[in-house]
Chain A
């Protein structure tokens, strides 16, 4: 009898333990998750946590010290670069492991493995998009190129060892919160994962192409109309390289294939593919004022890349000091070195070049097995790559992708992007990120660059995503190169889908690096870029693409008039809320408004708009009225025509519309083709204004008419978990404004560096150094960032180790094996 009681009790105990150790649906295993010695409670760090420790590590050669300051920025002091990068890998893992691994899963199409396929298979679809785009293919090519270079290979190896040293010594209690929530554990890091991360940046920053949408527009509109809707040059543009700069003739020439007219320009078919692409508003600002324009007589360099704002942040602030160099700036968790920063001699910053480096080719397969495709008048074998997708529940989804001379066939019978319909075309993608390249070498060389020549040499290694590299040195040089490897295209090559049956449509050559747009120590005393067109139409190569207009215009206007500039002036400029687009659009729109048709309530909004000073400041109502009015206005202008165009379409750019209206009094698009009457601009302006007033009234009732309330900025957790995000920030700025703070994207790292003998640098990003939501350092910069404040960046010297800003000291000591 007693044994029965015992066995019964034992069984119940075991069952309860097993149940509490298994996850149900989305819930983590309760026992593991809720135990104060293992579960999430262990992630609740003491607010006064000291990160000091002495670790004996077999992989390092010399004593290495890491001083954390009061903002938890690590200052690494190492005797050689390998030790320094080992330490960087260790720190990235210690503070950002989950995010860096998660992002490599996103990049390599493996999110379904940890999140499941998602509702309507949306996550799986996204994963397939990444693999079909050739992210894994590109990363492997890039890794092999990087590892061919002995120095880069050593740097990657040291970094990877640092990450893995942390992972190997990670206990269940120390596992980052997100792993506990999703119930999985980290894999070992590898150099390939770093390559994935770098490709992910390319994915994020090369979305400036509309080949499919343009092809559909071309299938419906005449050439003349198409050019009006999507012009390649905008009159208001203030190019990166000042207009009027002399460019020598192109040393490399290309011409369109003889069949281009019939097979390319006159090919009028519509495509039902819906691309999954990143927001084209992924922009950035950078500029340098030379000594002639600053109070100190030394250059001041500024940079603020605008990217999706997430928690944990994309950036991790770091100082790396070795006997050869001492660099400070923003690093990318998952990759060695500093991406944007400064050292004892120079500073650099980047913005996206926004050039079109993605083209599509229509492939003709011999039958549905996709094993052969028609090329140059014969059937050619396609390599079929099997892609396996593991789901969270263990199920496996199998997909296959055909590879051609152009690249992977991203869209075919089995995949049409976001859409769930069968694709009516096979499209191979040619993408610059598939080319062998070693961007990391550019960054590591910049980290140690001492002068303009070093900078020029360093950036040559940067192929993709093309960037505007702004530069300043203590010796007084300022410069800006638009650097990247860009295909040399004939006029309008790749603006539409190209024939994939003939290699003469393939990219033939690349623009010689020395002929990339650049400017060094210009007369005007400053350089700048803000994703606008790199050069005017005298640049001898085809630039195509799709460029921002107003931020660059406003930056150049301001820098032109500024003088005796200080770092405070630069902070004000980065936080400037002036909306140059509104300045161009509002007077025109008001002028065409029939005021007598408005009700008193509507007139009230009109008066508010009229009183607006074009500043997107937090408490203004003008920007809310304007952006909503313009949205409806442009929809009324374009959507009637676009609605008749088959397949996914693209709304023409804002500046295009305003410029066209101003210069063309009988702009045919103002007519609503769905009504018998012939509408004019006045009709559309009035109709759209009356319509927007309905929305404005309800916004006002909700107390959301002021700009910051309407915009409602926030920083979201990567898993979109609300309690781990920061919402309802009080911020100004927005699109077309230097302070590019939109709802969920904006200045992701604001940096100002004055290159005086003792560097004076400021910076901030909307996040915190510790990726752990249970740390006070998780989001500690967010409030100051929203207010437009900066932190003085401390480029620490070794002899300052006793400084009161040092909060913890982590020491790595070589262990004897």
Chain B
């Protein structure tokens, strides 16, 4: 239960932060949530990781659908990637790692008190 609540809250907070703050605010959002809603470190990491993965995946799917994949195909070629799906996955994983690490740090932070 805690996992899903954290997942949802992290996702929402990260989305809101992303509107006004730099990209790495996803890590801050995950940090904040995991230091408030305590979970053990590993599970925290997983929550932050999955929250941002899903958030970014969802955002990108929506962008690509609205854009009819015009840009993703061009940029994946510029980046020298085989296909646009790979670019999508790499993007999500980068966000997810930042989110996961943020959440992990939050969990350790909480443990100190």
Contacts and interface: CB of A to CB of B under 8 A. Distances in A.
Interface residues of A, number: 42
Interface string B18-36: 1100111011000100000
Contacts of B60: 36, 41
B78 interface: yes
B2 to A, nearest CB: 20
A43 B112 contact: no
B67 A46 contact: yes
A47 B94 contact: no
A44 B77 CA distance: 15
A51 to B, nearest CB: 15
Interface stretch (A4-12, A140-148, A415-423, A478-486): A4-12
A13 B101 contact: yes
B108 A9 contact: yes
Given A6-B108, A13-B102, A31 B78 contact: no
Interface string A416-460: 000000000000000000000000000000000000000000000
Given A9-B101, A12-B101, A16-B98, A36 B59 contact: yes
Nearest to B79: A27
B95 A35 contact: yes
A47 B22 contact: no
A638 B31 CA distance: 75
A398 interface: no
A776 interface: yes
B23 A32 contact: yes
Nearest to A32: B23
Interface in B26-70: 26-27, 31, 41, 56, 59-60, 63-64, 66-68, 70
Max chain B C-beta neighbours (<10 A), residue from A41, A45, A46, A778: A41
Interface string B60-101: 100110111011111101100000000100110011011001
Contacts of B73: 723
A181 interface: yes
B3 interface: no
B112 A6 contact: yes
A468 B23 CA distance: 53
Nearest to A31: B23
B71 A37 contact: no
Contacts of A37: 15, 18-19, 23, 59
B94 A6 contact: no
A21 B24 contact: yes
Max chain B C-beta neighbours (<10 A), residue from A6, A30, A39: A6
Interface in A721-747: 721-724
A34 interface: yes
A32 B59 contact: no
B71 to A, nearest CB: 4
* Tier of interface size on chain B: 35 or more
Contact of A31 (B15, B24, B87): B24
Contacts of A172: 22
A724 B74 contact: yes
A40 interface: yes
B105 A6 contact: yes
Contacts of B23: 21, 31-32, 35, 37-39
A476 interface: no
A723 B18 CA distance: 29
A32 B22 contact: yes
Contacts of B71: 40-41, 43-44, 177, 773-774
Nearest to A772: B71
Max chain A C-beta neighbours (<10 A), residue from B15, B71, B97: B71
Given A31-B23, A47-B67, A6 B91 contact: no
A395 interface: no
Contacts of A13: 27, 31, 98, 101-102, 104-105
A34 B72 CA distance: 11
B91 A36 contact: yes
B98 A44 contact: no
Contacts of A41: 59-60, 63, 71-72, 91
Nearest to B14: A37
A773 B66 CA distance: 15
A722 B77 contact: yes
A328 B63 CA distance: 34
Nearest to A774: B71
Contacts of B108: 2, 5-6, 9-10
Contact of B98 (A20, A40, A722): A20
Contacts of B95: 31, 34-36
B40 to A, nearest CB: 12
Contacts of A45: 66-67
Max chain A C-beta neighbours (<10 A), residue from B23, B95, B101: B23
B62 to A, nearest CB: 9
A3 interface: yes
Given A16-B97, A44-B64, A723-B77, A9 B104 contact: yes
Contacts of B70: 44, 47, 773-776, 778
Contacts of A776: 68, 70
A723 B59 CA distance: 24
Interface string A25-66: 000001110111111111111111000000000000000000
B64 A20 contact: no
Nearest to B112: A2
Max chain A C-beta neighbours (<10 A), residue from B67, B72, B111: B67
Contact of A36 (B63, B68, B102): B63
A47 to B, nearest CB: 5
A20 B78 contact: no
A17 interface: yes
Given A20-B94, A34-B87, 12 more contacts: A9-B104, A13-B101, A16-B98, A21-B24, A31-B23, A31-B24, A34-B91, A35-B23, A36-B59, A41-B72, A47-B67, A177-B71
Interface of B: 15, 18-19, 22-24, 26-27, 31, 41, 56, 59-60, 63-64, 66-68, 70-75, 77-78, 87, 90-91, 94-95, 97-98, 101-102, 104-105, 108-109, 111-112
Smallest CB-CB A-B distances: 8 pairs: A774-B71, A46-B66, A35-B23, A37-B18, A723-B77, A44-B67, A6-B108, A34-B91
6 contacts: A17-B24, A30-B94, A37-B59, A47-B67, A723-B78, A775-B70
